[in-house]
Structure 1
Amino acid sequence: MTSRMPAQRPKGRLRVDESIPPILRPLIRAYVLGYASSVAPRLLTLVPQHATKRTRNRGQSSVTQPHDSFVTSLQRILRGGLELQRFPTFCAALVGGTTLFEALVDICIFRLRGRWSDLARRRLSRWIASFVAAWLSLRLLQSKKTDSFAETKTPDADLPLSRIQKPSRYAGRTLDLTLFAATRAADVIVGELWARRRQRKLAAGQWTWFDSSISKMTDPSVFATSCAFIMWAWFYTPSALPRAYTKWVSSAAAVDARLIEALRRCREGDLRYGEETGQAGLLQSMCLDFKWPPDWGDPAVSIPFPCEIVHMGCGPNCEYHALSRFYRSFKWSMATYLPLNLVARKKNLRGVRAALLSAARSSSFLAAFITLFYYGVCLARTRVGPYVLGKHRAARQIIDAGVCVGSGCFMCGWSILLENPARRKDMALFVAPRALATLLPRRYSCDKQWRETFVFAFSTAVIFTCVRENRRRVRGVLGNVLGSVLEA
């Protein structure tokens, strides 16, 4: 076995890191990184919130109240990150446990020497150590009880009061974390198998343009499919998405809630064309606000309601509405992306130019995402759908009961082709766990929690073992972060 040279320490490594024993360095790094990632976003939102509150309260008699509130909130955020059952401790237990358990596991399987190669033994010990550490660290997070995953059921009146006050606990708090690990592990396994297949085909001279196309289109396809599930859930089952995610999508979509509710009622069967079901008031109130004829909002009279209602004041032309959506969404996106890019770039002419180009590209992607969703709805309702499914009442009901929304969901994600190819993989791996979460219950019985724990532990063991053996196989930022954290 060839000797391995010790990895050179990066020049920017702090001296305090050198004073820590090598076996404890990953644990300390993981805790600091976990603490920063959990506290920093809350601090960034705290400052503008209290600045706004201070502006509102200016001129009032109580001047110290905003400051006192800010200090109290700051202390609560900083102390909250130090609690035992929080994310920083989880990161330290996961990473530190992996490195500490590895030495112990390596001793236990030492007797395999002679039957297994040194490489196989090292991989096995790393996998087992990561599996055990992941299982125990996730159980630490799952042990924290929260009111959102508890429900007090009121039984019959003849049962004792103690039964009434006892809440039922549910699992699912860590589901997003588990799905993140599972999708990353799947990406590692599939990527490794595909790389070996590519190597064999290249050696045999059998690598074709079709194989190359699959390699290029995998990430866009994963992104588009995931976005289709996410947008469908946002439209019909928003409770399947995290609240902050739903709020952001609603802000980007800029759509009247009455229009969404009308299409939901079409799918549920409460709103039926050609029948009086008492649903006319929903869209008629919208017609009054936009100064449209009230009959447009009556499903018993208007079959279907005009596509101009979907355009929300942009006129009857679907293509003009799409261009208008792109323009408004591009401006909204640039207001977000441009400041971030300017902060991240050097303060010179070349840096400003690069920031403008990067912000414009990302804004074009997001604007195209929104535009394709809306135009997909219009294609199904007006441009293509009636000529395929028909123009009779039943066909119109089918279109507005899900076909139009499904068309928009299918189209929107392909805007990823406008993004930088280097960013597509990160974006695909970002949305894939959220798409999977829409297919699973957010809360489930605690007696099934071991299944989630096993999936997380197995997936994390795959990722950590791969990072130690071949960091490049764990794609995106995650591979670099884990590699720097796990190194001694």
Structure 2
Amino acid sequence: MSGSTLIRPQHDRSRLLDKTIPSLLQPLIRAYVLGYASSTAPRLLTLLLTHLSRRRKNIDIRPNDPFFPSLLAILRGGLELQRFPTFCAALVGGSTLFEIPLRNLFFQLGTRLTSSARFRFTRWVATFVAAWLSLKLLQSKKSEAFTECVTYDTPDGRQTRLKQFAGRTMDLTLFAVTRALDIMVGELWSRRKLRKTAAGTLTSVEKLTSRLTDSAIFSISCALIMWAWVYSPDRLPHSYVKWIKSAAAVDERLLTALRRMRYGEIKYGVETGQAHVLQGMCKDYDLPLNYGDPVKSIPFPCEVVHMGSGPSCEYHAASRMLRSFIWAFMTYLPLNLAISLRNPSLRSLKRALKSSLRSSAFLGSFITLFYYGICLARTRLGPRLLGSSTSKCQQMDSGLCIASGCSLSGWSILLENGGRRQDISLFVAPRALATLLPRRYPMESQWRETLAFAASAATVFTCVKERPERVRGVLGKVLRSVLAA
């Protein structure tokens, strides 16, 4: 049976569904279904994998197995009013439904705008209102992580009350702001490029800048994220910290030592009682104990950073590349094979294998460049450029070596193809911005975040309708399919 025959019944059901639902409500329904699937599917997959792992290890095999109650809780939770699916439906549906009365209103007011400008302005305002209301809906849900007991003095004595903090929707807002900025900067650059190309004045530097923009965004974003992961992991989501630690395969004691060097708790040439931090590592990796003593080893030998891979920085980098590549390949291959099952063929199998190899090489290079960048600063280039005095060694291990690794690691993105660079850079940019902003802030300032989200979402949605090619990557494809009438 051919692939087209297999697909046709699903296509017919989709058309039948479109006929039964009014066209005005179709974007709302599609948005809700997509939001529900995207919010529940990862949690269901995690629950399933955890359950299978426990059954394999004969853990929690009891009549009151929590699997089914947890399954129902996840399915029911996605249906709650203040959850992501309702937010998606309110945003998309509101932007579509508000447009009609606003269009009539502006027409009656007789604005001096042209017909096309009036349509754009109406869409922008309609989406702005829908985005404001939908985000307020999400923000209205209370969260224990953003609630704190505050004690204060009153004439009647000390009292305690609960204080709510804002910031729960910050990641969503930064995602919208990043995409809006990408649209606006991309449009300005496109116009400038067309104008200079027509005039024949486009320089080679500008051409190179155009090609490397996504890579530079990714590199800068990753530098901020990796810096935060080393020195202030509380600025990153817990799942993000856990995944990076798993990929980097780093000894927690090394991170502890780096943080204490950064904040002055460990000082070269000064006895601060912190030698035990790295000496425990030295014992476990069969290294001399004095390698971990900041009084006797100035600086700590790179062999400690290599964690058992020997004294050679280059050998450590090569071994990191191999181990990281294998780890990444074992992660990417099953995912890509699962995706290829939607349309199984030899060609899709080859594409899955090629994509897995490329992505594994990218991630392996990322980890390798991060570690080798640290070694370059500590051993290869740092002493030549700055010197090897105690103060310079302290300066190097207090942040410069990590800055070197962070700066180098992101350029591994050049191993990915152009489309993947786009998607990955736009994926990590909001998370990088989040490291520069507080995760919680006073509730009185929440209107600023809501304003930023509403204006950004209005810009993105209007552009999807007017200039769909300007909304790049997977998001553009998803929004075009959801907003299609």
The 10-residue stretch of structure 1 (302-311 or 190-199) with the greater mean CA deviation from structure 2: 190-199
Q: For 1:367 and 1:224, how far apart are their aligned partners in 2?
A: 15
Unpaired runs of 5+ residues, structure 1, are: 1-9
Q: SS of the residue aligned with 1:167?
A: strand
Corresponding residue for residue 181 of structure 1: 176
> Residue 439 of structure 2: which of 421, 439, 442 is its match?
442
Conserved? CA contact 1:30–1:485, under 8 Å: yes
The answer to whether 1:144 aligns with 2:145 is: no
> Residue 264 of structure 1: which of 231, 234, 259 is its match?
259
Corresponding residue for residue 118 of structure 2: 121
Q: For 1:141 and 1:342, how far apart are their aligned partners in 2?
A: 35
Q: For 1:127 and 1:351, how far apart are their aligned partners in 2?
A: 40
> Residue 271 of structure 2: which of 261, 276, 299 is its match?
276
The answer to whether 1:78 aligns with 2:78 is: no
Within-5 A mapping of 1:23-422: 23-57=24-58, 63-66=62-65, 69-111=66-108, 113=110, 115-155=112-152, 163-164=159-160, 166-345=161-340, 346-422=343-419
Corresponding residue for residue 4 of structure 1: none
Deviation at residue 114 of structure 1 after TM alignment:
6.9
Identity of aligned residues (%): 59
Deviation at residue 11 of structure 1 after TM alignment:
7.0
Unpaired runs of 5+ residues, structure 2, are: 1-10
Letter of the 1:13 partner, please give it. Answer: S
Conserved? CA contact 1:112–1:121, under 8 Å: no
Measured at CA, do residues 196 and 127 of structure 1 come closer, stay the same or move farther in structure 2, by a change above 3 Å?
A: same
Q: For 1:486 and 1:347, how far apart are their aligned partners in 2?
A: 29
CA deviations 1:320-375 (Å, max 9, x no partner) are 00000000000000001111122222544433322221111100000000000000
Conserved? CA contact 1:381–1:404, under 8 Å: yes
How many residues are aligned here?
473
Root-mean-square deviation over aligned CA pairs: 1.6
TM-score norm. by structure 1 comes to 0.94
Deviation at residue 293 of structure 1 after TM alignment:
1.0
Q: SS of the residue aligned with 2:164?
A: strand
CA deviations 1:257-288 (Å, max 9, x no partner) are 10111011111001000110000111111111
Deviation at residue 201 of structure 1 after TM alignment:
1.7
Deviation at residue 12 of structure 1 after TM alignment:
7.3
Q: For 1:247 and 1:45, how far apart are their aligned partners in 2?
A: 15
Letter of the 1:64 partner, please give it. Answer: P
Deviation at residue 207 of structure 1 after TM alignment:
2.5
Q: SS of the residue aligned with 1:65?
A: coil
The 10-residue stretch of structure 1 (173-182 or 420-429) with the greater mean CA deviation from structure 2: 420-429
Conserved? CA contact 1:308–1:317, under 8 Å: yes
Q: SS of the residue aligned with 1:152?
A: strand
Deviation at residue 113 of structure 1 after TM alignment:
4.4
Corresponding residue for residue 449 of structure 2: 452
CA deviations 1:200-232 (Å, max 9, x no partner) are 122222223222111101000000000000000
> Residue 427 of structure 1: which of 424, 435, 438 is its match?
424
Conserved? CA contact 1:23–1:99, under 8 Å: yes
Q: For 1:104 and 1:471, how far apart are their aligned partners in 2?
A: 24
Q: SS of the residue aligned with 1:170?
A: strand
Q: For 1:477 and 1:145, how far apart are their aligned partners in 2?
A: 31
